[in-house]
Amino acid sequence: MVLIKIKCVFCKKDYFRPAGRINEAKKFNWNQFCSAKCHSKFKTKKQALKCENCNKKIIRTPHEISSHNYCSRSCAIIINNKKYGRKRLNPSYKICEQCKQKYKKSTNNKKFCSKECRKKSTRHNPGKLLKIIKDTAKRIKRTPGRREFKEGIDGVCIRIFGSWNKTISMAGLIPNRSYDNRMYKRARIKALNGHLCDSISEALIDNWLYKNKIIHSKNVSYPNTNHKADWATFLGEKKIFIEYFGLANDSLKYNYCIQEKEILCKKQNISLIAIYPKDLYPKVNMENNLKNKFREYSLI
């Protein structure tokens, strides 16, 4: 057996190996090692690092290596305590809104130092309630509505003063008109053709349609919705809805309902004749205003 001297790929140490084995390794492009230990160390991907605290040598695999490497948890704590001081060593304080005493600020944004202070603050007295309403009205420059108070004081006000409008009056403000008493006093009035109308204004329009011989139906549903049109008529096969928007610009909710009806009419290809209080009052102008609206659709 012929032995040839070669170098270990890992430790670079000279050693002797049979010529047949050397030729075989060259044929298959294999690396050659002096021992199994060198072979194992060559294949491993572990890296030698130094602990950032004590400079001790540590071995880590690639997935264990991070931006900061320590030999133990103790070393990591020593470094981190130097860089980042613990919050409990420098606590921040807040002032309780009820008792005005200092208390330690916690992670959740509390306004009171204890449950007792929180309960006391929610027990509004009449004077405090009226002051909140007056301050809000001064800030928004108008009479506030119930839903504008997120603290839920509207229920307390109703329980103490009897109703929300009475509360507003006690605060020296003019109450917003309710849905039953906006623009008109709600009433059930029978028109000339027997239709029941919800107001005098609706009765005026219904009577005008009857006198001008415009055939119409009352309270007709919009397709696939819960909305209802005040009246509906036909021009050939073309459907036309007639609406009296008596509360326009008197309520955000009512204005949103008007927009919904206009969008529905466009989608369903239905013509919409919108009548507003300015078209009816003063009554001297009502006849001309309504005739001009209905002439556009050739109904007169």
The two most distant CA atoms of the chain are separated, in Å, by 130
Rounded Cα distance, 215 and 232, in Å: 9
Buried b (16+ CB within 10 A) or exposed e, 137-147: beeeeebbeee
Burial profile 67-85: b = 16 or more Cβ within 10 angstroms, e = fewer: eebbbeeebbeeeeeeeee
Whether residues 16 and 49 share a domain: the answer is: yes
Mark whether 275 and 229 lie in a shared domain.
yes
Rounded to 5°, the CA angle 57-58-59 comes to: 135
| In a domain? residue 31 | yes
The sign of the CA dihedral 130, 135, 141, 144 is negative
Summarised one tens digit per residue, pLDDT across range 219-245 is: 999 988 888 999 999 888 889 999 999
pLDDT digits (tens, 9 = 90+) for 57-83: 998 888 888 888 899 999 998 888 888
Predicted local distance difference test score (pLDDT) of residue 222: 92
In a domain, 91, yes or no: no
Q: How far apart are CA 105 and CA 288, in angstroms?
A: 70
Q: Of 4-13, 28-37, 118-127, 141-150, where does mean pLDDT reach its minimum?
A: 118-127
The count of domains in the chain is 3
| pLDDT given at position 186 | 54
Tell me the Ramachandran region of residue 7: left when phi exceeds 0, alpha when psi lies from -120 to 50, beta otherwise. beta
State the Cα angle at 10 between 6 and 14, rounded to 5°.
Answer: 25
Residue 123 is predicted with a pLDDT of: 64
* Domain annotation covers residue 100: no
Whether the pLDDT of residue 293 is over 60: the answer is yes
Q: What is the pLDDT of residue 184?
A: 43
Higher pLDDT, 266 or 249: 266
Does residue 255 surpass a pLDDT of 80? yes
**In whole angstroms, how far apart are CA 169 and each of 42, 128, 132, 166, 177?**
90, 15, 14, 5, 12
What pLDDT is attached to residue 282?
83
Domain that holds residue 140: 121-170
Total count of residues recorded for the chain: 300
Flag whether the pTM goes above 0.75: no
CATH number for the domain spanning 290: value is 3.40.960.10
Would residue 196 count as lying in a domain? yes
